[in-house]
Every structure is written in structure tokens, then in C-alpha cells.
């Protein structure tokens, strides 16, 4: 990939307008929407969005897209990584310790080997039932809204994938264990805590959670809200860096004109072969001009063609 640049792709936009990604280290007590509002005010932009909602109690990586980068959010890496503490021996209405306590049970004496065996059943593709207090839509309304009206919901299980689930520490005297989880989008660590506790026969709830990686960004790139409030403004992550996990194609001058008009292009033989087989099949392709500036994203089509999916600086 070429060196980072924060020049907006559309010359009709004011060149002073920033665009790219800001990675926040979200503090507890704020919603993701609160964080977006602060970024919007600080940078003086209306077009701001976040990738991957964090519950108010959860801290850590919250990627925020500014300007045209909001259109790139669907193409970023979807897996996320968390570190969390699970409290065994308690069930709550929200599956974390912020909810109403429903039941307490004694935690059975457990060795790490028994915990490892219990955790093993959650590794890989699983069906997971979201917490009742969640942002899942039920009949066009958020589940947490209906629950707070007094309704009791039984949400349908959904397929998720837990790629890594590692036991970091176990404290038998307090019934708390710390885990690291790498998982697909849509996975609820609160549900994992609940289901682990149910499997052990004592109940469980999430005590603390911190997201350490999301959409390809980790805490090494994150800035605090305190830093956001200071001058100069934090430097944004170049969109091309965020898309570095994808294959790319450089356009020549003739292809660039066709691309800006939304026409499909012939992919080079090597790229066409990569897109037709293996893990890169059906992956988006980052499209750059001869100078390495981002021009959009394509998908491989029939006959080795690159079909435009997102065209920046389009004509017409």
C-alpha cells in the first residue's frame, strides 16, 4: 500500500475537510452515539459514523469514520477482540452486573481444566441467543426498549463465530475468570458469560469488558476523549491503511476515466485468478489510481471483470 495521505478523494469537497478514521479509546459511561457527537463537534463535520456499537459500560476501541470514509465502514475487517471478566454464581436481567439480580447460586469448586473444557464448547461456529437488554430489533423496535416497558422476550439464537477463547486467569475464591475473545461481528460477550454460567450450573454474568481490537484497529492507534479535546486535533488514520487487508488494483489513466463513469474493468490475470479461488474469492478489491490515491472498491465479476461497488469522485 502507498504511504498514508489524508487528501479527500473528491476535489469538489473542501480540501480542508478531514477524512479518514479516528480510533477512540471509549471510556465507561458513554454511548457510542455520545462519542460520535463529540467527534462531529470537534472536527466540524456532519458526516461522522462509528463502526461497531459499544455498550455504555464497555471501554476500548471504537473506530469512527469521518467524511467520505463513512462509506468504507462495510468493507473493514469484521472480527473483534475483547478482554473480559466473568462473574460466576449470579444471574441478572441484562447478563451483566449492571442489571437486576435475579438469582445467586454457589460456585462449584472448579479447576482450570474443568473451565477449559466448559469454554471449549463455545469455540468455533455456534448459535448464540442475544441478551434481552440489547440493540437487536424485534418487530421493528430495539429489544432493550421493549424490555424496559416490562416485556419479557425470548430472542432467537443467531449464528456467530468465536475464533479464539482463551482463559487468562481464574480466581476460585471469588468465582471470577478473565478471558480473551476474538469473535465475529454480532457476538455478545454478555451472552457468553450467561451461557458459560448456565453450563456450569451456577449462572454467570459479565463483570467488566474492554474491546482491544475492532475493524482492524487496536488500542495502539486509539486516543482518549481527553486527547480529542486538545489541540492540535488527533491525526486521522488513512483509509487505505484501514483497507490494507484487501487485494488492490492500480488504474492507468484510461482505466481511471472509465472507472469514474462506473464502468466495469478487466482485472489483471493474476488478480482475477486470486479472486476466483481460495479465501479471497468474492472479496472487495481496493481501487487506486496511478498515484496511489483511493478511487473506490470493486468486486470480482464474471469473466475476470472488476465491477464497481463504491466509486469515489464519480463523474455524472
Active-site residues, by number, are 55
H/E element holding 43?
A: helix 32-43
**b/e per residue, 49-59, with b = 16+ CB within 10 A?**
bbbbebbebbb
Look up cell 465475529; give the residue.
Answer: 184
User: Which residue in 194, 46, 77 sits closest to 133, CA to CA?
Assistant: 194
Do 90 and 204 touch, CB atoms closer than 8 A?
A: yes
What's the Cα-to-Cα distance from 306 to each of 12, 81, 239, rounded to whole Å?
A: 26, 32, 20
Cβ(115)–Cβ(167) below 8 Å:
yes
Quote the Cα angle for 144-146-149, to 5°. 110
DSSP three-state, residue 262: coil
Write the CB contacts of 46 (distance below 8 Å, at least 6 apart in sequence).
Answer: 40
Q: What are phi and psi of 36, to 5 degrees?
A: -60, -40
Label the pairing between strands 80-88 and 204-214.
antiparallel
Instruction: Say how many C-beta atoms besides its own lie within 10 A of residue 149's C-beta.
Output: 8
Tell me how far CA of residue 30 lies from CA of 34, 71, 262, 289, in angstroms.
6, 24, 41, 40
Amino acid at each position: 500500500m502507498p504511504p498514508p495521505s489524508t487528501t479527500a478523494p473528491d476535489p469538489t469537497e473542501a480540501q480542508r475537510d478531514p477524512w479518514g478514521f479516528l480510533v477512540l479509546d471509549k471510556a465507561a459511561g458513554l454511548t457510542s452515539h455520545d462519542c460520535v457527537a463529540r467527534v462531529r463537534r470537534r472536527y466540524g463535520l456532519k458526516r461522522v459514523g462509528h463502526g461497531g456499537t459499544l455498550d455504555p459500560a464497555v471501554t476500548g476501541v471504537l473506530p469512527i469514520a469521518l467524511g467520505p470514509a463513512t462509506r468504507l465502514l462495510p468493507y473493514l475487517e469484521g472480527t473483534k477482540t475483547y478482554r473480559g471478566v466473568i462473574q460466576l454464581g449470579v444471574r441478572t436481567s441484562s447478563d451483566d452486573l449492571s442489571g437486576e439480580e435475579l438469582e445467586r447460586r454457589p460456585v462449584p469448586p472448579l479447576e482450570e481444566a474443568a473451565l477449559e473444557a466448559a469454554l471449549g464448547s463455545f469455540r468455533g461456529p455456534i448459535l448464540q441467543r442475544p441478551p434481552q437488554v440489547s440493540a437487536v430489533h424485534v418487530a421493528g423496535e430495539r429489544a432493550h426498549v421493549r424490555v424496559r416497558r416490562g416485556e419479557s422476550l425470548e430472542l432467537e439464537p443467531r449464528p456467530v463465530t468465536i475464533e479464539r477463547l482463551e482463559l487468562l486467569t481464574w480466581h476460585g475464591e471469588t468465582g471470577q475468570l478473565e478471558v480473551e475473545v476474538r469473535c465475529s461481528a454480532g457476538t455478545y460477550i454478555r451472552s457468553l458469560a450467561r451461557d458459560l454460567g448456565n453450563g456450569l450450573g451456577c449462572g454467570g454474568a459479565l463483570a467488566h469488558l474492554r474491546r482491544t481490537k475492532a475493524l482492524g484497529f487496536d488500542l495502539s492507534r486509539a486516543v482518549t476523549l481527553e486527547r480529542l479535546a486538545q489541540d492540535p486535533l488527533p491525526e486521522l488514520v488513512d483509509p487505505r491503511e484501514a483497507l490494507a487487508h484487501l487485494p488492490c488494483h492500480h488504474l492507468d489513466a484510461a482505466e481511471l476515466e472509465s472507472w469514474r463513469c462506473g464502468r466495469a474493468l478487466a482485472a489483471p490475470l493474476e488478480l482475477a485468478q486470486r479472486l476466483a479461488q481460495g479465501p479471497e474469492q468474492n472479496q472487495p478489491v481496493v481501487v487506486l489510481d496511478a498515484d496511489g490515491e483511493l478511487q473506490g472498491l470493486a468486486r470480482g465479476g464474471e469473466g475476470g471483470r472488476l465491477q464497481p461497488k463504491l466509486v469515489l469522485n464519480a463523474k455524472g
